[in-house]
Structure 1
């Protein structure tokens, strides 16, 4: 009887072992290998590397290895297609290779902090119909902001900041239906802000246009927009009344209009209730500081170098800022400045 029991136990163990082996041999997503990099995408990446003079920064781009393991790029886990190319902070010379347009599944394209990258933005980028993030910043790219960028209908984020781009802002950029943020700041752009920037095809994006040479008045159509968080027009040569950018019902958090030639009566402005950062320094703004400023939870305020007058209202955060937030006005007084006479 004891012998039969031992045989039964041994048989049971064998059955369990065989069952486990059979289970492990079945196809199961958790154990399946990721697809390798698409061979055509790999070929294009090697063309890009060659066009950039085979930089050390891309030394991991070894044709003998799966390109999904290479540095500065990412593959889709499901199909092995290249979905992100992010080249930044490397010693790379040359121009953006037109071959980047031959990566049809690309969603993110970044060339950033590459000071020896020069030339113009290639039109081949328009072939990237899935592109959501285009960042070409901190380089020596020159030429115009191309109007053909309006063809990238999937784009949600456009950053062309810190370059040497010249010419005017193409009105067609407002046709991008999914754009959430646009950075054209720190270039050498001239002309006016397009009227079309008051009429976006989709939602209103955050707009960064600072540190250019833009001139003329800001289109009144921007007054109907509700910026999600930010509008930055600072350090240009813009003129006129931009009080229409404010309003109690607006959701904007950051407004920077500093170092322009804006001229309007600040005492008549109603501020967005959630406004946290307001920079108006170095303009021609007149009037007094409205009491409404005391109701804001301000983290930053600068109204210096204007033509403001009257007593700084007491309350809120206004006395928390030092004199440099207020000085060089016509006749502002009261804490933190000198007492009013």
Structure 2
């Protein structure tokens, strides 16, 4: 754990290195790190819940590894600003902890995992989400009951088990990317507003 002696470290990037094994809990001792990028490696095991105790984090990039388990409950209570969350293309599974409804993520990328159940906690009028990619999982929730944040510019729910109708709030968004392919939706496309310019 000699890496924890780097007390002034701000940017930790071990990207595309073939590193493997579990991500150690003691990584949270790097209290000044703002960007944690361990993407495109062979890390396995669960995501350390202690990461939520890193007060200066702006982004967590653990995508493209072999991580298992679910998202830690503690990711619903970061000690600092809620960071952007990139967990795509792992072997993560289970349901999203309800505690995450308390966190307002700007960017969430969970694509290509084995998540299931409800993901509606990432939505809401009170959220400031900009980009959400929940594609290629087994999320199952009623899209018609979701309130879309007006800040959203990119939303990908493709390849899930999402059902219901498209929410009327869709007409108020300025989306540059919107993919709901391969789901179980019904009804018609809402008319008016910015949908006309898609």
Same fold flag (TM > 0.5)? yes
Partner of 1:129: 7
**In structure 2, the residue corresponding to 1:311 is in which secondary structure?**
coil
Question: Retained in 2: the 8 A contact 1:297–1:316?
Answer: no
Partner of 1:17: none
Residues 98-156 of structure 1: per-residue CA shift (max 9 Å, x gap)? xxxxxxxxxxxxxxxxxxxxxxxxx2211000111000001211111111111001111
- What CA distance in whole angstroms lies between the structure 1 residues aligned with 2:44 and 2:81? 27
Partner of 1:156: 34
- What does residue range 217-228 of structure 1 map to in structure 2 within 5 Å? 217-227=95-105
Which one has a bigger Cα radius of gyration?
Answer: 1
**In structure 2, the residue corresponding to 1:126 is in which secondary structure?**
helix
Deviation at 1:318, TM superposition (A): 3.5
Partner of 1:191: 69
- What CA distance in whole angstroms lies between the structure 2 residues aligned with 1:287 and 1:318? 18
Deviation at 1:320, TM superposition (A): 5.1
- What does residue range 35-74 of structure 1 map to in structure 2 within 5 Å? none
| Larger RCO (CA under 8 A, 6+ residues apart) | 2
Structure 1 runs (4+) deviating above 4 angstroms are none
Q: TM-score, normalised to structure 2's length?
A: 0.97
**In structure 1, the residue corresponding to 2:17 is in which secondary structure?**
strand
Unaligned runs of 5+ in 1: 1-122, 322-341
**In structure 2, the residue corresponding to 1:207 is in which secondary structure?**
strand
- What does residue range 243-258 of structure 1 map to in structure 2 within 5 Å? 243-258=120-135
Partner of 1:177: 55
- What CA distance in whole angstroms lies between the structure 1 residues aligned with 2:190 and 2:162? 17
Within the alignment, does 1:236 sit opposite 2:113 as a pair? Answer: yes
Bigger share in helix: 1
Within the alignment, does 1:310 sit opposite 2:183 as a pair? Answer: no
**In structure 2, the residue corresponding to 1:244 is in which secondary structure?**
helix
Residues 172-191 of structure 1: per-residue CA shift (max 9 Å, x gap)? 11110111111000100001
Deviation at 1:319, TM superposition (A): 5.3
- What CA distance in whole angstroms lies between the structure 2 residues aligned with 1:126 and 1:205? 21
* Equivalent residue pairs, number: 198
- What CA distance in whole angstroms lies between the structure 2 residues aligned with 1:127 and 1:257? 36
Partner of 1:283: 160
Deviation at 1:199, TM superposition (A): 1.1
**In structure 1, the residue corresponding to 2:186 is in which secondary structure?**
strand
Unaligned runs of 5+ in 2: none
Q: TM-score, normalised to structure 1's length?
A: 0.57
- What CA distance in whole angstroms lies between the structure 2 residues aligned with 1:300 and 1:319? 14
